[in-house]
Amino acid sequence: MYGFSKEIVERPGYWPSSAHICGFWFLPMAWQFSCDKCRELFSGDFNSSFEGILCANHAGLEDFLMGSSYLSLPIFIGLSSIGSMGFLRNPKAFLMVIKAVIESTDYRFILFSSGYQPLDSAIRSFASLAVESSVEAPALSNDSTLLFNNRLFCLSGSIPYSWLFPKCAAAIHHAGSGSTAAALFAGTPQVACPFLLDQFYWAERLHWLGVAPEPLKRQHLIPDIDDAASVNKAADVLLGAIRSALSPEIKAQATVIAQRLASEDGIG
């Protein structure tokens, strides 16, 4: 049994009859929360929880998503376990690239740090500088912080992508199979930056399907050094990819793919 969709990867004719493609597999939503209170709120039926409300501790994320003073939805960015695997060597440069994009656009971002300590430390450092300069009051809760004129929401905990992605304009990620599947299912345009193994396959597949621009190279998201030239060059490439992902063509194709996937139920 293969946990992906025939709409995304065609079944080769040479496979034996015993091989089955059954659609993407998703964990029950409640299992994907790092917060006990949120987990309790979403512990009912899986399919009825997509529009559920988070616990009071995460009201800041709800408020950020609603963004009454902004016309556009925020953009998700997260690299899952890429940091703990040793690929996020310069968290400061990563944040500076996001900051540069924010400063040249009206975009807002939601960053999941996946609890990667060096990235969380870099976030706290930027937050401390903001407090010292009285620019903003970034602290929201134990696991969330607002940065860069309140346009970057950083979360070190875990919220299910199936709940979050439908509320985002686009998803920037490492092209892991889980992130890829969740964004496809949600109909969310994607920007992929693969780092290893099957991530390169999924990133190319997303581009081939028309739901993402060409994959980013890792230095376009995480420069090796954080000098102005490197950061600005990376930000320019990232911004171009985001604008492509938000084009009418890619948004329409992402919706078409999501509609095709809606009838599948994985191993449900």
pLDDT digits (tens, 9 = 90+) for 201-231: 999 999 999 999 999 999 999 999 999 999 9
Would 14 be classed as within a structural domain?
no
- Residue 51 is predicted with a pLDDT of 61
Would 238 be classed as within a structural domain?
yes
- Its pTM stands at 0.88
Query: Which range marks the domain in which residue 92 is found?
Result: 29-261
Domain count, the chain: 1
144: DSSP letter: E
Q: Output the domain CATH number for residue 94.
A: 3.40.50.2000
Query: For the chain, what percent of residues have pLDDT higher than 70?
Result: 82
**Average pLDDT score, the chain:** 86
152 phi and psi angles, rounded to 5 deg: -125, 115
Taking the CA atoms of residue 91, residue 94, residue 98 and residue 103 in that order, the dihedral angle to the nearest 10 degrees is 90
- Residue 47 is predicted with a pLDDT of 46
Choice between 234 and 128, residue whose per-residue pLDDT is larger: 234
Instruction: For residues 112 and 91, give the distance between their C-alpha atoms in angstroms, rounded to a whole number.
Output: 13
Would 253 be classed as within a structural domain?
yes
Whether residue 90 is predicted with pLDDT greater than 80 in this model: the reply is yes
Would 87 be classed as within a structural domain?
yes
Would 1 be classed as within a structural domain?
no
Would 241 be classed as within a structural domain?
yes
Would 4 be classed as within a structural domain?
no
Would 5 be classed as within a structural domain?
no
* Residue at token pair 């969310």: 188
Mean pLDDT of 233-248: 98
- Bridge-based pairing of strands 152-155 and 144-147 is antiparallel
